[in-house]
Amino acid sequence: MPAPHIAFFEPRIPENTGAAIRLSANTGSHLHLIEPLGFDLSEPKLRRAGLDYHDLATVTVHADFEAFLAALPGSRVFAFTAHARTVYADIEYRRDDVLLFGPEPTGLPEETMTHARVTDRVRIPMLSGRRSLNLSNAAALVTYEAWRQSGFDTAG
């Protein structure tokens, strides 16, 4: 796998998930969707946003957060939040890491970010007074940084 795992916790916006499917297809990242989902996976908005990349992406849907963690027992989990000290570019990523993102507009719940399996809370710097980046944009930015660190391995 060229790039780390991407995980969307309880995603609500189908277009963002469609964009993440395209991201998964283009970087080799495995996309994990943690239920409940705020849409049906066959929704036209999701399919349109993912274009024809669905068959090129690796996507797994997990019943809940614990089932997701059980599927990746040895992986480090980085929880992304605007309320963290660690900056995404300061991490030395591994291929089996998980980049965990919460739903728009609420972000990850506190009990998820403080779970024993979460390695660190991580932020993407922004100008003060701003809440967050678009979910799929944030996932792309961090995924490409992690992939860059591995030399953009395209062996897939």
* Structure tokens belonging to residue 65: 């957060």
Q: Is residue 43 part of a domain?
A: yes
Least Cα distance to 9 among 149, 138, 156 occurs for 138
Query: Is the confidence at residue 45, as pLDDT, over 80?
Result: no
- Name every residue whose Cβ is closer than 8 Å to that of residue 20 and which is 6 or more positions away in sequence: 6, 8, 31, 135, 136, 139
Q: Is residue 112 part of a domain?
A: yes
User: How many structural domains are present in the chain?
Assistant: 1
Three-class DSSP category at 119: strand
Q: What is the mean pLDDT of residues 109-133?
A: 94
Instruction: For residues 10 and 152, give the distance between their C-alpha atoms in angstroms, rounded to a whole number.
Output: 29
Q: Is residue 109 part of a domain?
A: yes
Three-class DSSP category at 35: coil
Q: What is the mean pLDDT of residues 139-143?
A: 97
Query: Is the confidence at residue 1, as pLDDT, over 60?
Result: no
Q: Domain holding 126: CATH number?
A: 3.40.1280.10
Q: Is residue 23 part of a domain?
A: yes
How does residue 50 score in pLDDT terms, banded at 50, 70 and 90?
Answer: low
Q: Is residue 154 part of a domain?
A: no
Domain that holds residue 60: 5-149
Q: Is residue 156 part of a domain?
A: no
Q: Is residue 155 part of a domain?
A: no
* Structure tokens belonging to residue 134: 């678009």
